[in-house]
Structure formats: structure tokens, C-alpha cells
């Protein structure tokens, strides 16, 4: 037990605002031991000390930022599927905000999106379980289950007083990250919807561009990153590079020299300089913000829609000796202008809020997409 406690309390060195002497550190270790011992003796219910220590470890990580967390061996194994393009669940990307689970975005054509879950919703209850006090990954685990089984989510939504309840049927979620079609007058615009940045997104995206470039009538592009929660950094860099001839795409800065890097575009704009409008909203996060922010800074595209989510950090998955793992923020990324989008997001050049109760992305009621199309005809 003493070895475990020592290892656990040494993790306080993660806190940049706490500088402890050796004596101070051992006092904190002893204090934690006292707390654990008193809980064991006096708490009203019998507790599992192993679970309590795991909760303490997770508490240390979650106090750093909303994206760092501990994963048990079982959860760590499940998490390996997240960027592979297929996983089971509801089709929802979530984050933490002030200890509450917040929806970053629902993934298109998944149970969550079809049920009406929206970016910015707060999940307060999963089934009969209160979410307050649970870690992000514990919430993810609660939402996953056998395909075909149902789950009730209780949601708090901005500007709506009463909680909303949704019954959702779990499915195998296949993330088809790219879809495209011709739109606008005389089908003169290439519309590409990018739903996530997973392992094969750049290849799918490039194929769509090349198919459009074979058509003489294509005069410009609408690139739709609304409700795209992000994904792999290298995919964001590769896809952004399709539209730039040179210049910086993004830089990352961390404590280690190896995590402080700059990424630049290679020569060759796959669209030969055609005009571009990029659609973003509150559900556009992480890699989506790198893409939109870089094209905005280089004045390569008009950004239209609503302010993006504001996730400007990079996480690394670190395996642990017990078969579990930890997700730890190792660097922050910065746009070519030098600005960080953490908690700020990318501001659109043209603010267009979604309108109407029946608003649906890429539909006749999509006022943001309709506005983008009009830009090309004005």
C-alpha cells in the first residue's frame, strides 16, 4: 500500500502551480494515507480501496484539463477502436466542462444525431446514473453496450428550462468520414462533407477533389466541417495541405523539445486556387479547427457559420503497467498567426447561425449551406 501511495502522490508533480520541497511532498503523502485510513475505518459504507485509489489517480489527471484521464485495462482496450473508423455506441463525441459531460458533436447518420442530440448539450443522466462526479471515460463506458439495446439520456440544453429525455438504440458506428456531391447553379460547386479525421480521411478527401477537378463546370468548393469533432493531427495537416502552396499549417508547443514542432505545406494546390467556403459550428473541434484556422489565416478560404468549439491541445495515449492507460495532454497547437484556439475557437469571417426547428445539415432547411452557395453567385 505504501508503494502505491508513494507512486500516486508523486503524480502531484504534474501540477505546474505546486512547487513542493521533499519534506512537503512526504507530508502530502502521509496526509493522503491518513485520509485513506480514516475512510476505511469510518465511512458509512465499506469501500473498495483499489477503486478509491484509481479514482484518486483519475482525479489528479482530470484536474489538469478536460482531456487528460485514466483508463482502466477494460476501458483502455475499448478505447483502441476510437480512431479505427468503427466502434459500437451512440455516435457521440463528448468532453468535460466544469465537471459536467458536454456534447462536442453528434456524428452524422448515427443514433445520437437522428435522435436530436446537439452540440453544446449537457448530459446529466445516463440511464438511471447521475453523470455529475463521473469521469469522461466512465460516461463513455456507460453509453456503450450491446448493439440493439436502448439507453435513455437526460439532457440539459441552453435556453430550455426543462431537461430533455432521449431514448437511443445502440448501433455499430461506422465512421465514413467523407461524402461529396455537386451543388449550386448548374452543379458548379463541389461540396465535400468531412465528418471526422480518421486514418483514411485524407485519401478519401483527395479522391473527391480529383473527381471534381475532372469536371470543367466546377468553379469552387464548399467544405463542410460542421459537427466534426476532430481526430488525428496528421490527417488535419495532410488535408489542409491539399489547398495551400506553401506556408505554415500549424505548430505544436510542449514541455519536451520533441513536442515543439512546426508543420508546413508542400507546393501544390489540388484545386488550382479555386475559391473555397468552409462551414464550421460549435461542434467543429480540434483537427477541424486546425484546418479552418489555417485556411483563414492564409486567406485561402472564407469561414462561414458559428464559432468553433475551442479544443487546442494534443493528447497522447500512454500505456500503463496494469494494462490500463492514461490520456495526457502533451502539447498545445497554434495557428499560423500564432494564436491558440484553446477555449476560444475559430471565429467565422461571416457569422450565420442555424435557423429553424427543422434545421438539418445538408438539407433544404440548411440556411448556412444556402448562404455559402449564394456567396458564389454574388
| Positions marked active-site | 286, 297, 311
Count of other CB atoms within 10 angstroms of residue 208: 19
Identify the sign of the CA torsion 167, 77, 238, 259. Answer: positive
203 phi and psi angles, rounded to 5 deg: -65, -45
Nearest partner of 137 among 196, 231, 227, 55, judged by Cα? 55
Q: Which of helix, strand or coil describes residue 139?
A: helix
Which uninterrupted H or E stretch holds 3?
helix 2-10
Residue 245: DSSP 8-state: S
Q: Are 283 and 226 in contact (CB under 8 A)?
A: yes
Q: Are 196 and 251 in contact (CB under 8 A)?
A: no
Q: Which of helix, strand or coil describes residue 195?
A: coil
Burial of 100 (0-12, 13-18, 19+ CB in 10 A): middle
CA distance 172 to 169: 10
Amino acid at each position: 500500500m505504501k508503494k502505491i501511495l508513494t507512486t500516486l502522490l508523486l503524480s502531484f508533480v504534474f501540477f505546474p502551480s505546486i512547487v513542493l520541497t521533499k519534506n512537503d511532498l512526504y507530508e502530502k503523502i502521509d496526509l493522503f494515507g491518513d485520509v485513506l485510513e480514516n475512510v476505511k475505518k469510518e465511512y458509512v459504507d465499506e469501500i473498495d480501496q483499489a477503486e478509491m485509489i484509481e479514482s484518486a489517480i483519475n482525479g489528479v489527471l482530470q484536474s489538469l484539463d478536460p482531456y487528460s484521464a485514466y483508463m482502466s485495462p477494460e476501458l483502455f482496450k475499448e478505447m483502441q477502436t476510437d480512431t479505427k473508423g468503427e466502434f459500437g455506441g451512440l455516435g457521440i463525441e463528448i468532453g468535460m466542462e466544469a465537471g459536467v459531460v458536454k456534447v462536442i458533436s453528434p456524428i452524422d447518420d448515427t443514433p445520437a444525431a437522428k435522435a436530436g442530440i446537439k452540440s453544446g448539450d449537457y448530459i446529466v443522466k445516463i440511464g438511471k446514473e447521475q453523470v455529475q462526479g463521473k469521469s469522461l471515460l466512465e460516461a463513455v463506458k456507460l453509453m456503450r453496450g450491446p448493439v440493439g439495446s436502448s439507453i435513455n439520456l437526460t439532457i440539459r440544453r441552453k435556453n430550455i428550462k426543462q431537461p430533455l429525455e432521449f431514448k437511443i438504440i445502440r448501433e455499430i458506428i461506422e465512421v465514413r468520414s467523407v461524402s461529396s456531391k455537386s451543388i449550386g447553379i448548374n452543379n458548379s460547386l463541389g461540396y465535400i462533407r468531412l465528418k471526422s479525421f480518421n486514418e483514411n480521411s485524407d485519401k478519401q478527401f483527395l479522391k473527391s477533389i480529383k473527381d471534381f477537378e475532372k469536371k470543367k463546370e466546377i468553379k469552387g468548393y464548399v467544405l463542410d466541417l460542421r459537427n466534426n469533432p476532430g481526430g488525428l493531427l496528421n490527417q488535419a495537416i495532410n488535408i489542409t495541405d491539399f489547398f495551400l502552396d506553401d506556408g505554415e499549417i500549424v505548430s505544436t508547443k510542449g514541455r519536451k523539445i520533441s513536442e515543439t514542432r512546426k508543420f508546413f505545406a508542400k507546393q501544390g494546390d489540388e484545386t488550382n486556387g479555386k475559391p473555397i467556403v468552409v462551414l464550421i459550428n460549435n461542434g467543429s473541434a480540434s483537427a477541424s479547427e486546425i484546418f479552418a484556422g489555417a485556411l483563414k489565416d492564409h486567406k485561402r478560404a472564407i469561414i462561414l457559420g458559428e464559432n468553433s468549439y475551442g479544443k487546442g491541445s494534443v493528447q497522447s495515449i500512454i500505456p500503463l503497467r496494469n494494462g490500463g492507460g492514461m490520456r495526457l495532454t502533451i502539447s498545445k497547437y497554434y495557428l499560423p498567426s500564432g494564436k491558440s484556439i484553446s477555449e476560444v475557437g475559430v471565429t467565422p469571417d461571416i457569422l450565420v447561425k442555424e435557423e429553424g426547428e427543422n434545421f438539418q445539415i445538408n438539407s433544404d432547411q440548411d440556411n448556412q449551406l444556402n448562404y455559402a452557395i449564394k456567396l458564389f453567385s454574388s
